[in-house]
């Protein structure tokens, strides 16, 4: 489930984290309703949902609340730390800002390392942030291409 809402400022290419919409101790219908509400509130163009643990159940649950909800499913193939590195670079480049103070998210961000969080808990908020910023700023940009070199240039 996507917990964060991010927007992109077109002219600057900067992303802004608008909110931490995390919910805890909710039923599947409860978190799906929270996602649909945030989607509507922020006039989002899509929901990004990690489906490693829930598979198609995640999308089915979201669509049971709003059948028209556009869901982009993502599947983790690398560890959380490796997925977070490109997003950390975006922060270092000044390409990500926060529209407010998100204490729990910021605590996870500061505490996260190669071995996870010091508490041993899942970095759920941070992981959702990484998926959101990856979808917003990193996917589909700068895809590698093979370019031929003409003899005249050689």
Q: What is the pTM of this model?
A: 0.82
81, with CB counted inside 10 A (0-12, 13-18, 19+), is: middle
The CATH T-level fold of domain 4-138 is: Nucleotidyltransferase; domain 5 (3.30.420)
pLDDT in tens, 10-62: 677 889 999 999 998 999 999 999 999 999 998 888 999 988 877 789 999 99
Do the bridges between strand 14-20 and strand 47-50 make them parallel or antiparallel, or are there none, so unpaired?
unpaired
Q: How confident is the model at residue 3 (pLDDT cuts 50, 70, 90)?
A: low
* Among 32, 42, 37, 30, CA closest to 5: 42
What does the domain layout of the chain look like in residue ranges? 4-138
Give the pLDDT score at 141. Answer: 40
- Across the strands, what pairs with 135? none
- Looking at the predicted structure, is the pLDDT value of residue 146 above 60? no
């Amino acid at each position: 489930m996507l917990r964060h809402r991010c927007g992109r400022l077109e002219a600057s290419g900067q992303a802004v984290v608008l909110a931490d919409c995390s919910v805890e101790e909710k039923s599947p219908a409860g978190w799906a309703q929270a996602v649909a509400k945030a989607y509507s509130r922020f006039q989002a163009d899509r929901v990004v949902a990690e489906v490693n643990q829930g598979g198609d159940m995640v999308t089915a649950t979201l669509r049971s609340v709003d059948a028209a909800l556009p869901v982009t499913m993502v599947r983790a193939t690398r560890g959380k730390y490796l997925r977070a590195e490109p997003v950390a670079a975006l922060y270092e480049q000044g390409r990500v800002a926060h529209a407010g103070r998100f204490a729990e998210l910021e605590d996870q961000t500061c505490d996260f390392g190669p071995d996870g969080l010091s508490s041993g808990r899942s970095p759920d908020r941070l992981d959702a942030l990484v998926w959101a910023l990856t979808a917003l700023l990193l996917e589909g940009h700068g895809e590698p291409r093979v370019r031929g070199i003409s003899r005249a240039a050689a």
